[in-house]
A and B are shown apart, each in its own frame.
Chain A
Amino acid sequence: MLKKNALAVALVATAALTLSSCAGDKADSGSSPVSDVSTGTDEKAATVLDRPFEKPDLVLTDTHGKKYDLRERTKGKPTLIYFGYTNCPDVCPLTMSNIAIAYKKLPRADRDKLQVVFVTTDPERDTPEALGKWLKGAGDPAFTGLTGDFPTIQAGARQMGIGIDPPKKEKDGSVVSMHGAQVIAFSPKTDAGYVLYGDDTTADDYTEDLPELVEGENP
């Protein structure tokens, strides 16, 4: 009896030691469910703006080298606009490819209506040819790519609440560019920018929302 008690005490004591030596891990995993709650699965990818904003007066050059007036060309059409650059290895191709997957699932009539516009933030490197080639791979040949002089692009982005800095050359010759934080959807009914999507939006999210955006409805 006594012997058994001693063993039990020893086991309990060391079990406690085992636990405390792993306390770091345990504390971490214990607190994670709290943060999981705030990122529930039914959270929407779309942010519908209380105060939509006007489409900027932006005149740039498209991938065919022709003048492209954003307001004129997208008037009364559902439009998605994103600011990025082709030397962007991760987020820009991810965003355009996600939109392209959803776009290809739309009925033909809806695809004809929806305008997807990619505006470069790195116009020096992104010539119309470079943009056209990139968009075919990253997005869809039907998408519009725009380039022009940086101050014009920056001013247009600012009017949509998108802040972009000019590309900066590093000492080693590499260029640091910047992409926009969000994709903006403009309504065919009002021509106003009314929905935002962050870079964690998936192809499935876009697939779910595009049919509503094409109609100018809230996703």
Chain B
Amino acid sequence: MNRRTTLATAVALTAGLVLAGCSTGSGSGGPELKIEGAFMPEPVMDDMAAGFLTVKNDSGTADRLTSVTSDIAEEVTIHRTTGQKMQEAESFDVPADGELNLERGGNHLMFMKLRKKPEQGDKVSVELHFEKAGPVRAELPVKETTHNPKKQ
């Protein structure tokens, strides 16, 4: 009896550890998404800017970025880069247990009809709309025009 109890406790304890270490996140309200490494290079035009960030999804549920809004621009679109061309995309996939990378030279957020030209040191807030997780707010610090952090 005693032995069984010990065994059961050990299993229960380690099961808890397994969950904490590798959450499957199938809870309510869709996957929990984290925004990391967000920034906006100081634009050279007063009507257009780009934004970059990483969406981390530690859950087992895939999601999709469908649109973006911001106080700073009348229009924010999501752009896919193919070769040397940039084109508006319908949505970007956020894979389960994976990430969506918007990085320089690749896919990005495009801010059009800026209400105000962002300067280095400013912070631009955006609301990212996901199909399942709903809206997620993020702040993009404005960095120098050439800011280009090393790819992960």
User: Could you list which residues of chain A lie within 8 angstroms of chain B, going by C-beta atoms?
Assistant: 2-3, 6-7, 10-11, 14-15, 17-18, 21-22, 24-25, 86-91, 93-94, 97-98, 101, 134, 137-138, 164-165, 170, 172, 174, 176-181, 199-200, 202-203
Contact = CB atoms under 8 A, between A and B. Distances in A.
B53 interface: no
Interface residues of B, number: 36
A134 B21 contact: no
> What are the 7 A-B residue pairs with the smallest beta carbon separation, nearest first?
A14-B14, A137-B44, A89-B50, A10-B10, A138-B44, A97-B145, A93-B44
Given A22-B21, A94-B105, 11 more contacts: A6-B6, A7-B6, A15-B14, A25-B22, A88-B86, A93-B145, A97-B145, A170-B88, A177-B85, A180-B84, A203-B146
Interface in B67-112: 79, 81, 83-88, 97, 104-105, 108, 110-111
Contacts of B6: 3, 6-7, 10
A199 B21 CA distance: 39
Interface string B41-52: 101110011100
Nearest to A177: B85
24 contacts: A3-B3, A7-B6, A7-B10, A14-B14, A14-B15, A18-B14, A21-B22, A89-B79, A89-B108, A91-B105, A93-B145, A94-B41, A94-B105, A134-B44, A134-B45, A138-B44, A176-B86, A177-B85, A178-B84, A179-B84, A181-B83, A181-B84, A200-B105, A202-B146
B27 to A, nearest CB: 17
A181 B84 CA distance: 6
- Between A7, A90, A172, A179, the greatest number of chain B beta carbons within 10 A of the residue's beta carbon is seen for A90
A21 to B, nearest CB: 5
Contact of B105 (A3, A7, A180, A199): A199
